[in-house]
Structure 1
């Protein structure tokens, strides 16, 4: 063999996972994003949209922290959540419309950005004083567990579940915006005669729902994988 001949390693063909999104807003959101992507100027890139989504989510955490001292920070939170939706939703749509898909790179970077952004936002929310740290951490942990299950299912079942039932990322953003708007009026809620922080109540419910979803999905996917790979 000629010593000058380089050995070329062939990368196995990557199989893109099937994407499933049955959320309430999925249909209209898909059409709106495609309409915007088809008209976006060439200097607007997928990587730029991903970066916008990350910076906006970090910004939301910053403004939540700022709102500890001035409620005007909550307006900044809402603007950042909208920008996060735009960047996070447009990056993949833009790549598909322009036929510039990078499935492994896109999947890895997009979801690392989600994890980093969610961590930054929950830290800011925990510092804001509108929610106790324990509740903010519970929401973050539940989100990370549900995310980890989704990523593992994508690899093992070749199916990327973008929503759980009728709830997807966009619905969660809408609920977060609604809750943040409510904070401008009052950070408290009264339930059965007891006064509690609004985000403590909402956050505890959100964490419990996400944990329940994670348990149910893990059970379903474990049973499905067992059927596909039975012993003997």
Structure 2
């Protein structure tokens, strides 16, 4: 009895951070997910969806590695990206619709899954031969830096930024699907007369953009925290 009371008190004391999502698809995606969650069968659970999202992202990495020998495996990557979207996006929505939220548990598990899944995806991409390892590692490091900044801001500013500008996880998945479709046609791109791997080009742009955003957002949040906690 005391244990249940302590748990309830701890939950009441914990305040969830404000979620901010201004991505292009945020509005329509929220409506679609809520509608699906309301119609979801009872056997479907948030934890099961989280596991599906992780396994799907690992699967995408495996299919990327297999695509080195058979480009048809890229179709498997696309299927896994869609399944990852469903699992990763639906787990929290289902919990909210059923009033089964576990804010600390959900935040911790979801983002550990994101880190593990992104690592598996980038490793698979590196093995695919469609991108040089240096670019794949740079994308992973940039993603981890941006993620770390987001988690620190969630704790210190009570604000969880789910998107950066118009881009969020769903937009990135859409771009990745488009990139995979382009790979099925040709793995190369020509820039100013120079032929290079398409994903080297896209990955370099993505890594530079994420590094830049991480630095810019860190400077902004540091200034904001300094204003909130001035010396003297």
Q: Secondary structure at the match of 1:99?
A: coil
Normalising by structure 2, report the TM-score. Answer: 0.96
- Report the counterpart of residue 117 of structure 2 in structure 1: 117
Tell me the distance in 1 between the aligned counterparts of 2:154 and 2:41. Answer: 32
- Report the counterpart of residue 93 of structure 2 in structure 1: 93
- Report the counterpart of residue 160 of structure 1 in structure 2: 160
| 1:19-69 Cα shifts (integer Å, max 9, x gaps) | 000000000000000000000000000000000000000000000000000
| 1:58-110 Cα shifts (integer Å, max 9, x gaps) | 00000000000001110000000000000000000000000000000000000
- Report the counterpart of residue 130 of structure 1 in structure 2: 130
Does 2:149 match 1:149?
yes
Q: Secondary structure at the match of 2:196?
A: strand
Tell me the distance in 2 between the aligned counterparts of 1:201 and 1:120. Answer: 21
Q: Secondary structure at the match of 1:166?
A: coil
Post-superposition shift, 1:193?
Answer: 0.4
Tell me the distance in 1 between the aligned counterparts of 2:195 and 2:150. Answer: 36
Tell me the distance in 2 between the aligned counterparts of 1:165 and 1:219. Answer: 16
| 1:82-141 Cα shifts (integer Å, max 9, x gaps) | 000000000000000000000000000000000000000000000000000000000000
Tell me the distance in 2 between the aligned counterparts of 1:215 and 1:70. Answer: 39
What is the alpha-carbon root mean square deviation over aligned residues?
1.4
- Report the counterpart of residue 41 of structure 2 in structure 1: 41
Does 2:74 match 1:74?
yes
Normalized per residue, the structure richer in helix is 2
Post-superposition shift, 1:191?
Answer: 0.6
- Report the counterpart of residue 169 of structure 1 in structure 2: 169
Tell me the distance in 2 between the aligned counterparts of 1:26 and 1:204. Answer: 26
Does 2:62 match 1:57?
no
Q: Any stretches of 5+ residues in structure 2 without a counterpart?
A: none
Tell me the distance in 1 between the aligned counterparts of 2:181 and 2:61. Answer: 16
Post-superposition shift, 1:11?
Answer: 3.5
Q: How many residues align?
A: 227
| 1:184-221 Cα shifts (integer Å, max 9, x gaps) | 00000001100000000000000000011101100110
Runs of 4+ in 1 over 3 A off after TM superposition: 8-12
Tell me the distance in 1 between the aligned counterparts of 2:111 and 2:43. Answer: 23
Post-superposition shift, 1:155?
Answer: 0.2
Tell me the distance in 2 between the aligned counterparts of 1:117 and 1:206. Answer: 18
Pairing 1:4-15 to 2, within 5 Å after superposition: 11=10, 13-15=13-15
- Report the counterpart of residue 230 of structure 2 in structure 1: 230
- Report the counterpart of residue 27 of structure 1 in structure 2: 27
Tell me the distance in 1 between the aligned counterparts of 2:128 and 2:180. Answer: 12
Q: Secondary structure at the match of 2:189?
A: strand
